[in-house]
Amino acid sequence: MRHMIGVLVLFLGLNAFAVREVQNGGGGVNTNGQLETFFSANFRLEDQPEDAQKIPGLARLIAEIDALPIKAYAKGRLLEVVFPTADRNYYRIKGGEFDPITRRRVAAEYARILGVPADKVVFFAASSPQSKTTVLMNEFYKLKEVEQAVILLHEGLWIYNATLEYTDVLSLEQDAQAYFQDHSNTKALLSMITKLSDVFSDRSLPLSATMALDYKAGIFPVASSNPNTVRLVDLVGPGYLDCMFLHDFSNHKSRIAEIDYVRNCNQIIQYYSVMQASKYPQATYFQALTLYLSRFGTIDVLDTYRDTTHLSGSLAKMNYESFRDSIYVDIQQPMGGTKLDLKIYNGENEQIGRLRF
């Protein structure tokens, strides 16, 4: 099996380079033309894996993940790859470090790759995605708690997907550390969640998160007596709803023509989202919506059960504009997993449709 060499430079406020291998089969170093992985190098692991309570930074990381405004399944995936179980282990090296000869050889190889002095190379952790094992070096235990949490997150991401690009994981790491150190840094939070959406192939992840953030911040007006509800018109704008609600989709001769019309309506949302992002710079949802539309460009309002039937303004039991401006969605009750399907309710608290991203 071919093993890949993985090198990552991470600045953690130390006057050193933090090197951690990733990639398939645990990564490794190439010595004298022979590929030698960390897990076949000349050091011995402790006989038993580390218990969760003995891994510094883990409790901090779990608390940070739990507090993220992301879907429960996404939290579950992150926790699955960072929390030790029978299938996911953390080990210490006996003595906490390579033996001196091995360390010098490995450090020299990384120094050559990084173009830095060998005495500036510091090893914090190494992971094998195949065995779901992470080795924690002695230097890891000397870091600050937040730095330890970030390293554990990094190792967990490689366990989850060893084919991720170094630059992507490094960028996500930097966002995570910035946010973990300062929870008012919503820019770092939004950037981190956007990158997590790529890791999990969930393009709606930033939308659900920013809806919750802006609701909590009071950006959206109160929609109903029920908590966590936002008026649909505040999320997508009146122009888009008029475009969808006042149109007779039965006149379309084909499904393609219908899809083209919906895309035209989506362009109205793009205009609305950009204008709202400019008007309310403190809001995070409109920034996320603008990015989502530029990448994917698809939002739809559907009836309660049928994916091919669009919600119609003919459901109005009152003046149309009053109907349009009073219907709302429950932002904490998504109906899907990686999709974002939010229930739409009328003024009588009856579900009448779905908002799908």
Own/partner long-range contacts of 194-200 (Cβ < 8 Å, ≥24 apart):
194/288, 194/291, 195/168, 195/171, 196/70, 196/74, 196/172, 198/168, 199/157, 199/160, 199/161, 199/164, 199/168, 199/172, 200/74, 200/77, 200/338
Give the pLDDT confidence score for residue 246 in this predicted structure: 83
Residue 45 per-residue DSSP state: B
Statement to judge: residues 296 and 274 lie in one domain: yes
Residue 5 lies in a domain: no
Summarised one tens digit per residue, pLDDT across range 153-176 is 999 998 999 888 877 888 898 999
Statement to judge: residues 147 and 26 lie in one domain: yes
Burial classification of residue 96, based on how many CB atoms lie within 10 Å of its CB (0-12 exposed, 13-18 middle, 19 or more buried): middle
Residue 2 lies in a domain: no
Give percent helix, percent strand, percent coil of the chain, each to the nearest 5. Answer: 50, 15, 35
Statement to judge: residues 275 and 150 lie in one domain: no
Burial per residue of 2-16, b for 16 or more beta-carbon CB atoms within 10 angstroms, e otherwise: ebbbbbbebebebee
Summarised one tens digit per residue, pLDDT across range 56-110 is 999 999 999 999 999 888 999 999 999 999 999 999 887 766 677 777 877 787 6
Residue type, 84: P
Instruction: Kindly report which listed range (156-170, 211-225, 309-323) carries the lowest average pLDDT score.
Output: 309-323
Statement to judge: residues 242 and 108 lie in one domain: no
Statement to judge: residues 239 and 128 lie in one domain: no
Q: How confident is the model at residue 112 (pLDDT cuts 50, 70, 90)?
A: confident
Statement to judge: residues 241 and 348 lie in one domain: yes
Q: How confident is the model at residue 20 (pLDDT cuts 50, 70, 90)?
A: very low
CA pair distance 115, 109, nearest whole angstrom: 10
Statement to judge: residues 58 and 156 lie in one domain: yes
Statement to judge: residues 125 and 237 lie in one domain: no
Residue 11 lies in a domain: no
**Structural domain that includes position 219:** 210-356
Residue 66 lies in a domain: yes
Q: Average pLDDT over the chain, rounded to whole?
A: 80
Summarised one tens digit per residue, pLDDT across range 317-339 is 568 888 888 899 988 766 556 77
**Residue bearing the bigger pLDDT, 251 or 297:** 251
Domain count, the chain: 2
Statement to judge: residues 230 and 329 lie in one domain: yes
Task: Return phi, psi of residue 98, to 5°.
Answer: -55, 160
Statement to judge: residues 55 and 161 lie in one domain: yes
Compute the average pLDDT of residues 133-137. 87
Statement to judge: residues 141 and 218 lie in one domain: no
Domain boundary residue among 184, 201, 218? 201
Give pTM, 2 decimals: 0.79
Matching residue, tokens 């690009």: 165
Residue 4 lies in a domain: no
Residue 45 lies in a domain: yes
Residue 3 lies in a domain: no
Domain boundary residue among 201, 225, 252? 201
CA pair distance 152, 125, nearest whole angstrom: 9
Domain boundary residue among 201, 233, 262? 201
Statement to judge: residues 152 and 222 lie in one domain: no
Residue 10 lies in a domain: no
